[in-house]
Amino acid sequence: MNYSVSEENYIKAIYNLNGNKQPVSTNALADIMATKPASVTDMLKKLKTKKLIIYQPYQGCKLSAEGVKVALNIVRRHRLWEYFLAEKLKFEWNEIHVIAEELEHVSNPKLIERLDEYLGFPRFDPHGDPIPDHEGKMQMLKQVKLTQLPLHTPAKVSGLTDQSTDMLELLRHSNICIGTDVEINRKFGFDHSVEIKIPGNPLFIISEQAAQHILVHHE
């Protein structure tokens, strides 16, 4: 029921590579974990005996049902800490991941429940990724670039793919933050710029270049 930091990191890596449900190769894991394939094989054997993965030699691996549960719990911890770092400690979005990698291994369950409550039960982290609840369920909204959002479709800003100060300046000027409700009112064919509607604000136009880097969630 309690796993080492190393085990947790492998489980997390398998989970992240496994999005497509295809088995994860030993080399791919070695790459992500910045280690050697031989070391990965050792760990895969161990995780297999603990029934966290399904693994046959030379066939790659994938998480078992129990493994997914463990992975979701790690992801939950990681994303809650990311939210805390950005929202409360005012870290920039590009700094939070590394720190959360350390904090995520502090696994006291009551701590995580209290943190969740303290943060107001956020459902998305500052990168726009959904935060699993204490049962492992998470909201699976479509995340798309603002350029791909259909016309007149209510959406919520969930992340950025560019966190440069120039970008942040532009967003601040437009009153766009994580969580802001937006809708595309009109698209201009000429330069592909888009007209944005934010409830309570006047309409305004944003360039394709900028819109490309803004991620939004919608149903």
218 close to 144: Cβ distance less than 8 angstroms: yes
Helix axes 5-17, 65-87, angle to 10 degrees: 100
> Which parts of this chain interact with DNA (CB under 7 A)?
4-7, 9, 25-28, 33-46, 55, 57-60
Nearer of residues 60 and 122 to DNA, judged by Cβ:
60
Nearer of residues 79 and 217 to a second copy, judged by Cβ:
79
8 close to 74: Cβ distance less than 8 angstroms: yes
Q: Which does 111 bind (CB under 5 to 8 A by kind): DNA, a second copy, none?
A: a second copy
Angle at 111 between CA 110 and CA 112, to 5 degrees: 90
Q: Which does 37 bind (CB under 5 to 8 A by kind): a second copy, DNA, none?
A: DNA
In sequence order, what are the beta bridge partners of 54?
62
Nearer of residues 89 and 203 to a second copy, judged by Cβ:
89
Q: Which does 114 bind (CB under 5 to 8 A by kind): a second copy, DNA, none?
A: a second copy
193 close to 205: Cβ distance less than 8 angstroms: yes
**Three-class DSSP category at 157:** strand
Q: Which does 58 bind (CB under 5 to 8 A by kind): a second copy, DNA, none?
A: DNA
Nearer of residues 116 and 183 to a second copy, judged by Cβ:
116
Nearer of residues 18 and 158 to DNA, judged by Cβ:
18
54 close to 61: Cβ distance less than 8 angstroms: yes
> Which parts of this chain interact with a second copy (CB under 8 A)?
85, 88-91, 95, 98-99, 102-103, 106-108, 110-111, 114-115, 118
Q: Which does 45 bind (CB under 5 to 8 A by kind): a second copy, DNA, none?
A: DNA
Rounded to the nearest whole angstrom, what is the least distance from the CB of residue 77 to a second copy in the complex? 12
Rounded to the nearest whole angstrom, what is the least distance from the CB of residue 42 to a second copy in the complex? 21
Main-chain phi, psi angles of 74, to 5 degrees: -65, -45
The closest of 63, 30, 35, 33 to 48, measured between CA atoms, is: 63
Largest CA distance in the chain: 61
